Amino acid sequence: MFETLTSKLESIFKKLKGKGLLKEEDLELALKEIRLALLEADVNFRVVKDFIQKIKEKAIGKEVLESITPGQQVVKIVNEELCGLLGMTNSRIQLSPNPPTVIMLIGLHGSGKTTTAAKLARNFKKEGRRPLLVAADLQRPAAIEQLITLGAQINVPVYSSKETKDPVALCEESIRQSKLDARDIVILDTAGRLHIDESLMAELRKIKEKVLPKEVILIADAMTGQDAVTMAKNFDEHIGIDGIILTKMDGDARGGAALSIRTITGKPIKFIGVGEKIDMLEPFYPDRIASRILGMGDVLSLIEHAQKTFDQKEAEKLQKAIIEESFTFEDLKEHLKKLRSMGPLENILNMIPGFNKMKNIAVDEKELVKVEAIINSMTKKERKNHAIIDGSRRRRIAMGSGTTVADVNRVIKQYIEIKKMLKMFKGKKGIKLPKILPF
């Protein structure tokens, strides 16, 4: 996410920060490079023009150029303007005072609309709501089957009908059913097309007129860049949208759609999809995204991810293991599983400030799988007491895990290092174990 843009901006700011005194021509050159970086990231040219102008107006002046840290001041201004570009504050989906809250999802084929419907339902369920998914894409039978399968995965009912051929009637029926079943959220997965056409727009307008959704949310594929922005503008003009969910953000190294769509449409980005798994939907926080773009990490999101994964009991169990010096390979295996369940390792590590600058660190998910395989090949006694793992045991573990003795030696060595590190926490009052601790 934003990998290419982040790399270029970091290079520009490094040069700025390296100058003790900034001249106006230095700033002009930097702004020219920022402008080029944004255009290469597929950001809308009008958005780039306004963005650069705003930075220029704030940055060129005695207050910035003659400050003690002019380079830092320019970065601060760019950060503020990025936040403005992205919408300043997090925008939540508005709930109706009189349930059910009807949320209508619209978008083109391939944007991830059906999967996003299920992801949203899962989010609402975790908040204690009672969502109902509605399979209103009657153009594509596979979409109905997909939604039913996803609904079963998250234990959320799906309203569908083989008799009803009219999507408008089906949506109306689903709302009546939601009231009977005391469902307080209704998510309509409407039909898409390969491209925008009048028949699609007419169908969506009719559904909107009849069911009066609290919010109409556009699902847009971030990887399509400026096409997503143009499509969002068209949907807003023809249907009227209240917000946007950008999908496939994990595959978009440029970020042009995210940086343009808010300004062009005037509508907020509500969520971003950061992976295919059902739990990979994140609320969109402009300040956090701006921080990621500028290579400053995103500690708040990292903590939230960790808190969802590691509960208090697990933290207390780890605390006890440290105090009693009884941290075993079994504990290590459990914490590695939790770490992997937080999402792609690279995404998690990139939330750590400065991690992207550590070029010598290779992120390899396969290594974690290898470690788990090695631990699984150990006996219960070996997991509890690594000291008994001699040469013959190491050869047996390597054979059982499909690895080499060198791999087993490395894992044992890393485990010993982890134990040493954990000893630092022992007996230190006031130090709370970080819930993000991956071991």
HEC profile for 27-64? Answer: HHHHHHHHHHHHHHCCCCHHHHHHHHHHHHHHHCCHHH
Residue 242 contacts residue 92 (beta carbons within 8 Å): no
User: For position 15, what pLDDT does the model report?
Assistant: 83
Task: Name the E strands within 114-191.
Answer: 131-136, 158-159, 185-190
Name residue 251's amino acid: G
In sequence order, the β-bridge partners of residue 132 are: 186
Residue 115 contacts residue 86 (beta carbons within 8 Å): no
Mean pLDDT, the chain, whole residue set: 81
How many residues are present in the chain? Answer: 439
User: For position 307, what pLDDT does the model report?
Assistant: 55
- Of residues 428 and 61, more confidence is placed in 61
Residue 119 contacts residue 153 (beta carbons within 8 Å): no
Confidence of residue 436 (pLDDT cuts 50, 70, 90): very low
- In this structure, the strands spanning 185-190 and 158-159 are unpaired
Lookup: tokens for 117: 């419907």
User: For position 287, what pLDDT does the model report?
Assistant: 85
Percent of the chain whose predicted confidence (pLDDT) is above 70: 79
Write the pLDDT tens digit of every residue in 314-339: 656 656 665 566 778 877 777 777 66
User: What's the DSSP call for residue 434?
Assistant: P
Q: Evaluate if residue 305 carries a pLDDT over 60.
A: no
User: For position 63, what pLDDT does the model report?
Assistant: 63
Residue 390's contacts (CB-CB under 8 Å, 6 or more residues apart) are none
Lookup: tokens for 294: 């500028």
Q: Evaluate if residue 156 carries a pLDDT over 50.
A: yes
| 19 φ, ψ (degrees, to nearest 5) | -95, 125
Q: What is the mean pLDDT of residues 138-166?
A: 90
- In this structure, the strands spanning 215-221 and 101-106 are parallel
User: Which residue do the tokens 């999967």 mark?
Assistant: 115
d(CA 338, CA 101): 34
Domains of the chain: 3-86 (1.20.120.140), 101-296 (3.40.50.300), 303-423 (1.10.260.30)
Write the pLDDT tens digit of every residue in 399-409: 998 999 999 99
Q: Evaluate if residue 432 carries a pLDDT over 50.
A: no
d(CA 105, CA 153): 20
Write the pLDDT tens digit of every residue in 338-363: 666 665 555 555 554 444 554 444 45
- Of residues 225 and 297, more confidence is placed in 225
Write the pLDDT tens digit of every residue in 415-425: 887 777 666 65
CB 20: neighbour CB atoms within 10 A?
Answer: 9
User: For position 429, what pLDDT does the model report?
Assistant: 44
User: For position 340, what pLDDT does the model report?
Assistant: 62
User: What's the DSSP call for residue 359?
Assistant: T
User: For position 24, what pLDDT does the model report?
Assistant: 81
- Of residues 276 and 172, more confidence is placed in 172
Residue 264 contacts residue 228 (beta carbons within 8 Å): no
Write the pLDDT tens digit of every residue in 238-275: 999 999 999 988 876 677 888 888 889 999 999 999 88
- Of residues 172 and 333, more confidence is placed in 172
